[in-house]
Amino acid sequence: MKIVLASNNKNKIKEFKQILKDDEILTMYDVGFYDEIDETGETFLENALIKAKTISEFLKTKGLDYPVVADDSGLCVEALNGEPGVYSARYSGVHGDDEANRQKLLKKLEGVENRKAYFQCITVEYFSDGSYKVGDGRTYGTITYKKIGDETFGFDCLFLSDDLNKTFGEASAEEKNKVSHRFRAIKDLFSK
């Protein structure tokens, strides 16, 4: 099945392609959409729907009728009342500055003993008639005191997974994709 993924995030696209091996994943670029989509929602679901609906409407103008899959996800830290949450990618004020986001998180957690956290992902499969399905996934862990492992994707090098007993930054793609919030949300979405 062909699915259009409402994302230009290289790491996210890679994860989706690894998880949905049996489907043909088209990116926004593949279908000719090059604009940024403003994520103005206050929840993961609202942001996922904004992205999915935007791409679905764009596909209609091209005469294409593919389901669109979008997600929104983030890190939620218990001691910070769920921060950074929906603002994970722009926690430091600059969208996509992973290092600044990590430094802000570590600074806010200085002297804090409770470092429990979870990643949450909401996925949406959106259809041209406006109907949609929703998947929800979480993975639990704790925030480390320093970066451990690969630093190329968000908070992964600070998130010590309860499932893996290592940070997501230390885990292989295969290990992470078996327990990640995104994997669980996709599995939940496509089990309906």
Within 10 Å of residue 24's Cβ, how many Cβ atoms? 12
User: What token pair was written down for 164?
Assistant: 């893996």
Question: Which residue among 30, 35, 72, 129 is the active-site one?
Answer: 72
Within 10 Å of residue 158's Cβ, how many Cβ atoms? 28
Closest among 3, 16, 115 to 59, alpha carbons compared = 3
Question: 127 with 184: CB under 8 angstroms?
Answer: no
Q: At 41, is the secondary structure helix, strand, or coil? A: coil
Mention every residue, 6+ apart, whose C-beta is less than 8 A from residue 17.
25
How many helices, marked H, and strands, marked E, lie in the chain?
Answer: 5, 6
CA separation (Å) from 150 to 82, 146, 159, 172?
24, 12, 11, 10
Known catalytic residue at 35: no
CA separation (Å) from 45 to 18, 80, 109, 118, 141?
23, 21, 27, 17, 22
Catalytic sites, residue numbers: 72
